Amino acid sequence: MSDITALLHAGLIVSDLARAKAFYESVIGLNVFPGRPDLPYPGAWYELGGGQQLHLMCLPNPDADNARPEHGGRDRHIALGVKDMAALKRRLDGAGVSYTASRSGRAALFCRDPDMNTLEFVEVG
């Protein structure tokens, strides 16, 4: 049995912090975590519940030249639970963000943020 008990945060690299914040706050609907320390690079932290966070880091992307697969489920990604998939789809559609349904048949979808980071959303009760 592992001593690891939780995933505390996931960090994503972004190239334009204002653009990324607009996406994560206005489209995805995340709330800023105000306790981000003064780090030597711009960024933002978001509270996901249960002590989990999403960290945006405005840093040079070491993978910027790598091609991404069309379907996000075949790429590196983080999965986030969502209570109302229909509301999320409306926000994504309203913002012109394309997404694909999970190919597993689960109530899940994949989209990319403005920096091509893949996000999976899984409907949870």
Domains of the chain (ranges; CATH) run 9-61+68-123 (3.10.180.10)
Quick one: pLDDT at residue 27? 96
**% of the chain with per-residue pLDDT over 70:** 100
**% of the chain with per-residue pLDDT over 90:** 73
Convert the pLDDT of each residue in 77-121 to its tens digit. Answer: 999 999 999 999 999 999 999 999 988 888 899 999 999 999 999
Quick one: pLDDT at residue 33? 96
CA distance 21 to 14: 10
Quick one: pLDDT at residue 71? 78
CA distance 112 to 65: 16
Average pLDDT for residues 21-35, to the nearest whole number?
96
Convert the pLDDT of each residue in 46-86 to its tens digit. Answer: 999 899 999 999 999 887 777 888 878 888 899 999 999 99
Q: What backbone phi and psi angles, to 5 degrees, belong to 71?
A: -90, 125
- Amino acid type, 10: A
Three-state helix/strand/coil letters over 56-109 = EEECCCCCCCCCCCCCHHHCCEEEEEECCHHHHHHHHHHCCCCEEECCCCCCEE
Contact 108, 120 (CB under 8 A): yes
Structure tokens given for 59: 């840093």
Contact 24, 113 (CB under 8 A): yes
- To the nearest whole number, what is the mean pLDDT of the chain? 92
